[in-house]
Amino acid sequence: LPISIGTAVVEVSQPRAPCWKIDHRCGVEGIANFVALHGLTGWYYRVIVPGEIAAGMALELVARPASAVSLADYWRATQAHRPDPDWLERIAAAIGLAADKRRKLLDRAAWLRANTTPEP
């Protein structure tokens, strides 16, 4: 989703999973796990149009493509034990998703299709 901030335009390119650094920085073991379990993840942006930004500037959604999925949807699908392969493929087709994330989703969808017994 393209987002304007200052004179720049950015786009979320992929979610960011929590890592051990959260526990280390806070001095409390288990915070990263809590963050992951509750889907309180971050994200990475890619720059579409370089520009000037500063702290406190508002982010404004430029457009929402029909194929857009939320980071919450992505996180739920990737954390589910056996997500719907169709849903994984829809997320993989989302505009802006990084190639390595797309490949993992498609590989998992293919594995689920090959290893799921149809219900009678």
Give 57-67 pLDDT, tens digit per residue.
999 998 887 77
- At residue 104, the pLDDT reads 93
Please provide the distance, in angstroms rounded to a whole number, between the alpha carbons at the two ends of the chain: 41
Higher pLDDT, 108 or 74: 108
Residue 113 has pLDDT above 90, yes or no: yes
Q: What is the pLDDT of residues 6-47, one digit of tens each?
A: 999 998 877 887 888 889 999 999 998 888 888 787 888 889
Contact between 16 and 43 under an 8 Å Cβ cutoff? The reply is yes
Tokens 């379990």, residue located: 37
Give the start-end residues of each E strand in the chain. 2-5, 8-16, 42-49, 59-61
Contact between 48 and 12 under an 8 Å Cβ cutoff? The reply is no
Distance between CA atoms of 62 and 45, rounded to whole angstroms?
14
